[in-house]
Amino acid sequence: MRVPVVKTVAVKRKKKTVYQLDYMLNGKRIREIVAHNKKDAKLIQAQRQQDLTLGIHGIYPAQSKIISLKDLISQYLNTKSGIVRDSTYGRYKNYFDGFEKFMHKYFSAACDNIRLITHKYLQECFSRLKKEPVNKTKPWHPNTINILRDLLIEMFNVAVNDKYLETNPVLHTIPLKVVKTNTIKYYTDDQLNIIWDKLNEHWVPIMKFLAYTGLRKNEMINLVWDNVSMDDNNPTITITSTDEYQTKSGRSQTIRITKTAYEILKKQVGKHSRYVFVNEKGKKYVEQLQMKN
Protein backbone atom coordinates (compact mmCIF):
# COMPACT_ATOMS: atom_id res chain seq x y z
CA MET A 1 0.00 0.00 0.00
CA ARG A 2 1.26 3.45 -0.90
CA VAL A 3 2.32 5.61 2.03
CA PRO A 4 0.29 8.86 2.23
CA VAL A 5 2.20 12.13 1.90
CA VAL A 6 1.27 14.55 4.66
CA LYS A 7 1.31 18.26 3.82
CA THR A 8 0.97 21.34 5.99
CA VAL A 9 -1.44 24.00 4.70
CA ALA A 10 -1.94 27.50 6.08
CA VAL A 11 -5.60 28.51 6.41
CA LYS A 12 -6.38 32.21 6.83
CA ARG A 13 -9.25 33.14 9.08
CA LYS A 14 -10.70 36.49 10.10
CA LYS A 15 -8.42 37.12 13.06
CA LYS A 16 -5.52 34.69 12.59
CA THR A 17 -3.96 31.96 10.50
CA VAL A 18 -4.22 28.31 11.50
CA TYR A 19 -2.40 25.30 10.08
CA GLN A 20 -3.91 22.03 8.96
CA LEU A 21 -2.62 18.66 7.82
CA ASP A 22 -3.75 17.51 4.38
CA TYR A 23 -3.34 13.93 3.08
CA MET A 24 -5.18 11.00 1.48
CA LEU A 25 -5.83 7.83 3.49
CA ASN A 26 -7.74 4.81 2.13
CA GLY A 27 -9.21 6.92 -0.67
CA LYS A 28 -10.43 9.60 1.74
CA ARG A 29 -9.01 13.10 1.97
CA ILE A 30 -8.06 14.10 5.50
CA ARG A 31 -7.96 17.77 6.43
CA GLU A 32 -7.28 18.49 10.07
CA ILE A 33 -6.40 21.75 11.83
CA VAL A 34 -3.57 20.97 14.25
CA ALA A 35 -1.85 24.18 15.38
CA HIS A 36 -1.85 27.96 15.50
CA ASN A 37 1.75 28.39 14.40
CA LYS A 38 3.83 26.93 11.58
CA LYS A 39 6.57 25.47 13.77
CA ASP A 40 4.21 23.31 15.82
CA ALA A 41 2.34 22.31 12.69
CA LYS A 42 5.57 21.05 11.10
CA LEU A 43 6.38 18.99 14.19
CA ILE A 44 2.95 17.40 14.10
CA GLN A 45 3.26 16.85 10.34
CA ALA A 46 6.54 14.97 10.84
CA GLN A 47 5.05 12.83 13.62
CA ARG A 48 1.94 12.07 11.58
CA GLN A 49 4.05 11.13 8.56
CA GLN A 50 6.09 8.76 10.71
CA ASP A 51 2.99 7.22 12.28
CA LEU A 52 1.37 6.63 8.89
CA THR A 53 4.54 5.17 7.42
CA LEU A 54 5.03 2.75 10.30
CA GLY A 55 1.34 1.84 10.30
CA ILE A 56 1.21 1.12 6.57
CA HIS A 57 4.18 -1.25 6.85
CA GLY A 58 2.94 -2.76 10.12
CA ILE A 59 6.16 -2.05 12.01
CA TYR A 60 4.96 -0.11 15.04
CA PRO A 61 7.41 -0.94 17.84
CA ALA A 62 6.05 -1.76 21.29
CA GLN A 63 7.20 1.56 22.69
CA SER A 64 5.16 3.41 20.04
CA LYS A 65 1.72 2.39 21.26
CA ILE A 66 -0.90 5.05 20.57
CA ILE A 67 -3.62 6.16 22.94
CA SER A 68 -6.01 9.10 22.76
CA LEU A 69 -6.20 11.74 25.45
CA LYS A 70 -9.79 10.75 26.21
CA ASP A 71 -8.84 7.10 26.76
CA LEU A 72 -5.82 8.02 28.88
CA ILE A 73 -7.95 10.22 31.13
CA SER A 74 -10.58 7.50 31.40
CA GLN A 75 -7.98 4.91 32.38
CA TYR A 76 -6.47 7.25 34.95
CA LEU A 77 -9.82 8.12 36.54
CA ASN A 78 -10.71 4.44 36.70
CA THR A 79 -7.67 3.90 38.93
CA LYS A 80 -9.05 6.54 41.31
CA SER A 81 -12.61 5.21 41.43
CA GLY A 82 -13.27 3.62 44.80
CA ILE A 83 -9.91 4.83 46.12
CA VAL A 84 -10.68 8.51 46.66
CA ARG A 85 -13.90 10.00 48.00
CA ASP A 86 -16.75 10.52 45.53
CA SER A 87 -16.45 14.30 45.94
CA THR A 88 -12.70 14.13 45.22
CA TYR A 89 -13.32 11.92 42.18
CA GLY A 90 -15.89 14.44 40.92
CA ARG A 91 -13.41 17.27 41.37
CA TYR A 92 -10.72 15.36 39.46
CA LYS A 93 -13.19 14.71 36.64
CA ASN A 94 -14.05 18.40 36.44
CA TYR A 95 -10.36 19.27 36.16
CA PHE A 96 -9.84 16.81 33.31
CA ASP A 97 -13.05 17.84 31.54
CA GLY A 98 -11.78 21.43 31.39
CA PHE A 99 -8.34 20.31 30.24
CA GLU A 100 -9.70 18.02 27.53
CA LYS A 101 -12.08 20.70 26.29
CA PHE A 102 -9.16 23.11 25.91
CA MET A 103 -7.04 20.57 24.05
CA HIS A 104 -9.86 19.75 21.62
CA LYS A 105 -10.39 23.45 20.98
CA TYR A 106 -6.79 24.40 20.25
CA PHE A 107 -4.83 21.18 19.58
CA SER A 108 -7.32 18.62 18.32
CA ALA A 109 -4.71 16.40 16.64
CA ALA A 110 -2.95 15.86 19.92
CA CYS A 111 -6.18 14.51 21.40
CA ASP A 112 -6.02 11.51 19.07
CA ASN A 113 -2.41 10.70 19.96
CA ILE A 114 -0.91 11.91 23.23
CA ARG A 115 2.58 11.59 21.73
CA LEU A 116 1.81 14.86 19.95
CA ILE A 117 1.23 16.73 23.22
CA THR A 118 4.17 18.99 24.00
CA HIS A 119 5.04 21.02 27.08
CA LYS A 120 4.32 24.16 25.03
CA TYR A 121 0.74 23.04 24.48
CA LEU A 122 0.36 22.33 28.18
CA GLN A 123 1.86 25.64 29.26
CA GLU A 124 -0.49 27.47 26.92
CA CYS A 125 -3.34 25.46 28.36
CA PHE A 126 -2.48 26.60 31.89
CA SER A 127 -2.18 30.21 30.73
CA ARG A 128 -5.52 30.19 28.92
CA LEU A 129 -7.39 28.43 31.72
CA LYS A 130 -6.38 31.36 33.91
CA LYS A 131 -7.93 33.85 31.45
CA GLU A 132 -10.75 32.08 29.61
CA PRO A 133 -14.07 30.95 31.14
CA VAL A 134 -14.41 27.19 31.52
CA ASN A 135 -17.83 25.58 31.00
CA LYS A 136 -19.33 29.08 30.58
CA THR A 137 -18.56 30.01 34.19
CA LYS A 138 -15.31 31.75 35.01
CA PRO A 139 -11.54 31.28 34.57
CA TRP A 140 -9.69 29.01 36.99
CA HIS A 141 -7.69 30.25 39.95
CA PRO A 142 -3.92 29.67 39.56
CA ASN A 143 -3.97 27.31 42.54
CA THR A 144 -6.63 25.17 40.81
CA ILE A 145 -4.53 25.08 37.65
CA ASN A 146 -1.50 23.97 39.65
CA ILE A 147 -3.58 21.12 41.10
CA LEU A 148 -4.50 20.12 37.54
CA ARG A 149 -0.79 20.21 36.67
CA ASP A 150 0.02 17.85 39.54
CA LEU A 151 -2.68 15.44 38.37
CA LEU A 152 -1.39 15.61 34.81
CA ILE A 153 2.13 14.79 36.00
CA GLU A 154 0.80 11.68 37.70
CA MET A 155 -1.34 10.70 34.72
CA PHE A 156 1.44 11.15 32.16
CA ASN A 157 3.86 9.24 34.40
CA VAL A 158 1.44 6.33 34.06
CA ALA A 159 1.51 6.81 30.28
CA VAL A 160 5.32 6.63 30.35
CA ASN A 161 5.23 3.45 32.44
CA ASP A 162 2.74 1.92 30.00
CA LYS A 163 5.03 2.75 27.03
CA TYR A 164 2.70 5.29 25.43
CA LEU A 165 5.35 7.98 25.95
CA GLU A 166 9.10 8.11 26.37
CA THR A 167 9.10 11.21 28.57
CA ASN A 168 6.54 13.18 30.58
CA PRO A 169 5.84 16.54 28.85
CA VAL A 170 4.29 18.06 31.98
CA LEU A 171 7.62 17.97 33.81
CA HIS A 172 8.90 20.71 31.49
CA THR A 173 6.06 23.09 32.36
CA ILE A 174 6.18 25.76 35.07
CA PRO A 175 3.56 26.09 37.84
CA LEU A 176 1.62 29.34 37.89
CA LYS A 177 2.45 31.89 40.54
CA VAL A 178 -0.08 32.10 43.34
CA VAL A 179 -0.34 35.41 45.16
CA LYS A 180 -0.30 34.77 48.88
CA THR A 181 -1.77 37.22 51.36
CA ASN A 182 -1.07 37.51 55.06
CA THR A 183 -4.57 38.75 55.78
CA ILE A 184 -6.52 36.33 57.96
CA LYS A 185 -10.26 36.82 57.75
CA TYR A 186 -12.25 36.08 60.87
CA TYR A 187 -15.30 37.25 62.79
CA THR A 188 -14.80 39.39 65.86
CA ASP A 189 -16.64 38.54 69.08
CA ASP A 190 -19.00 41.47 68.46
CA GLN A 191 -19.79 40.20 64.96
CA LEU A 192 -20.39 36.69 66.27
CA ASN A 193 -22.76 38.01 68.92
CA ILE A 194 -24.76 39.79 66.22
CA ILE A 195 -24.97 36.49 64.30
CA TRP A 196 -26.13 34.57 67.39
CA ASP A 197 -28.82 37.22 68.04
CA LYS A 198 -30.17 36.99 64.48
CA LEU A 199 -30.17 33.20 64.21
CA ASN A 200 -33.13 30.93 64.81
CA GLU A 201 -32.72 29.52 68.33
CA HIS A 202 -32.32 25.97 67.00
CA TRP A 203 -29.24 26.92 64.94
CA VAL A 204 -27.34 28.82 67.63
CA PRO A 205 -25.62 25.83 69.33
CA ILE A 206 -24.82 24.27 65.97
CA MET A 207 -23.20 27.39 64.52
CA LYS A 208 -21.41 28.12 67.77
CA PHE A 209 -19.98 24.60 67.80
CA LEU A 210 -18.71 25.03 64.25
CA ALA A 211 -17.19 28.40 65.14
CA TYR A 212 -15.45 27.19 68.31
CA THR A 213 -14.15 23.87 66.94
CA GLY A 214 -13.39 24.63 63.28
CA LEU A 215 -15.22 21.50 62.12
CA ARG A 216 -16.47 21.14 58.58
CA LYS A 217 -20.23 21.01 58.10
CA ASN A 218 -20.28 17.31 57.23
CA GLU A 219 -18.00 16.49 60.18
CA MET A 220 -20.54 18.12 62.47
CA ILE A 221 -23.49 16.36 60.81
CA ASN A 222 -21.86 12.93 61.20
CA LEU A 223 -20.46 13.41 64.71
CA VAL A 224 -21.70 10.54 66.91
CA TRP A 225 -21.68 10.17 70.68
CA ASP A 226 -19.35 7.14 70.45
CA ASN A 227 -16.66 9.57 69.24
CA VAL A 228 -17.19 12.12 72.00
CA SER A 229 -15.36 12.11 75.34
CA MET A 230 -17.28 13.97 78.03
CA ASP A 231 -14.33 14.02 80.43
CA ASP A 232 -14.57 17.29 82.37
CA ASN A 233 -10.79 17.57 82.52
CA ASN A 234 -10.10 16.63 78.91
CA PRO A 235 -13.16 16.78 76.65
CA THR A 236 -12.44 15.60 73.08
CA ILE A 237 -14.15 14.65 69.84
CA THR A 238 -12.82 12.21 67.25
CA ILE A 239 -13.39 12.81 63.55
CA THR A 240 -13.25 9.53 61.65
CA SER A 241 -14.73 7.78 58.62
CA THR A 242 -17.74 5.49 59.00
CA ASP A 243 -19.86 3.35 56.69
CA GLU A 244 -22.02 6.43 56.09
CA TYR A 245 -19.35 9.10 55.88
CA GLN A 246 -15.80 9.49 54.58
CA THR A 247 -13.57 12.25 55.97
CA LYS A 248 -11.85 14.50 53.46
CA SER A 249 -8.35 13.22 54.33
CA GLY A 250 -9.46 9.64 54.99
CA ARG A 251 -7.68 9.80 58.36
CA SER A 252 -8.98 9.97 61.93
CA GLN A 253 -8.13 12.80 64.29
CA THR A 254 -8.94 13.54 67.90
CA ILE A 255 -9.52 17.17 68.85
CA ARG A 256 -9.47 18.64 72.33
CA ILE A 257 -12.36 21.10 72.53
CA THR A 258 -12.74 24.38 74.38
CA LYS A 259 -14.85 24.91 77.49
CA THR A 260 -17.46 26.78 75.39
CA ALA A 261 -17.74 23.88 72.93
CA TYR A 262 -17.93 21.41 75.80
CA GLU A 263 -20.86 23.31 77.37
CA ILE A 264 -22.68 23.11 74.02
CA LEU A 265 -22.18 19.33 73.95
CA LYS A 266 -23.64 18.98 77.43
CA LYS A 267 -26.88 20.59 76.25
CA GLN A 268 -27.09 18.15 73.31
CA VAL A 269 -27.12 15.09 75.53
CA GLY A 270 -30.43 13.21 75.27
CA LYS A 271 -31.56 14.74 71.97
CA HIS A 272 -30.54 11.65 69.98
CA SER A 273 -29.06 8.30 70.93
CA ARG A 274 -26.45 8.30 68.13
CA TYR A 275 -25.97 11.71 66.54
CA VAL A 276 -24.82 14.74 68.52
CA PHE A 277 -26.61 17.31 66.38
CA VAL A 278 -30.01 16.60 64.85
CA ASN A 279 -32.70 18.62 63.10
CA GLU A 280 -35.80 20.07 64.71
CA LYS A 281 -37.63 16.77 64.17
CA GLY A 282 -34.95 14.89 66.07
CA LYS A 283 -33.49 13.22 62.96
CA LYS A 284 -30.08 13.30 61.32
CA TYR A 285 -29.39 16.16 58.96
CA VAL A 286 -28.85 15.41 55.31
CA GLU A 287 -25.51 16.68 54.07
CA GLN A 288 -27.17 19.35 51.92
CA LEU A 289 -28.72 20.99 54.98
CA GLN A 290 -30.11 24.51 54.62
CA MET A 291 -30.70 26.89 57.47
CA LYS A 292 -34.10 28.48 57.96
CA ASN A 293 -34.71 31.67 59.86
Final residue of a structural domain among 180, 215, 249: 180
CB contact at 8 A, 85 and 248: yes
**SS3 state of residue 275:** strand
Mean residue pLDDT across the chain: 85
Q: What is the pLDDT of residue 135?
A: 66
Number of structural domains found in the chain: 3
Same domain, 155 and 96: yes
What range defines the domain where residue 100 resides? Answer: 65-180
Instruction: Give a yes or no: residue 28 inside a domain.
Output: yes
Same domain, 171 and 233: no
Spatial neighbors of 52 by CB under 8 A, at least 6 apart, are: 3, 4, 6, 23, 25
What's the CA gap between 119 and 132, in Å, rounded?
A: 19
Other beta carbons within 10 angstroms of residue 13's beta carbon come to: 8
CB contact at 8 A, 21 and 34: yes
Q: What is the pLDDT of residue 61?
A: 47
CB contact at 8 A, 237 and 223: yes
Instruction: Give a yes or no: residue 273 inside a domain.
Output: no
22: closest CA among 1, 58, 59, 52? 52
Same domain, 48 and 123: no
Same domain, 207 and 155: no
Instruction: Give a yes or no: residue 195 inside a domain.
Output: yes
Final residue of a structural domain among 25, 42, 60: 60
CB contact at 8 A, 157 and 169: no
pTM: predicted TM-score of the whole model, two decimal places? 0.55
Q: What is the pLDDT of residue 44?
A: 84
Q: What is the pLDDT of residue 180?
A: 75
Same domain, 131 and 230: no
pLDDT, one tens digit for every residue, the chain (293 residues):
577 888 999 998 877 888 888 988 777 888 888 788 888 888 888 878 877 777 654 544 444 578 999 999 999 999 988 788 788 889 999 999 999 998 988 888 888 889 889 898 999 999 999 988 876 678 999 999 999 999 999 999 999 988 888 899 999 999 999 887 766 677 888 898 999 999 999 999 999 999 999 888 888 999 999 999 999 889 999 988 877 777 776 678 899 999 999 999 999 999 999 999 999 888 888 765 555 54
Final residue of a structural domain among 60, 91, 106: 60
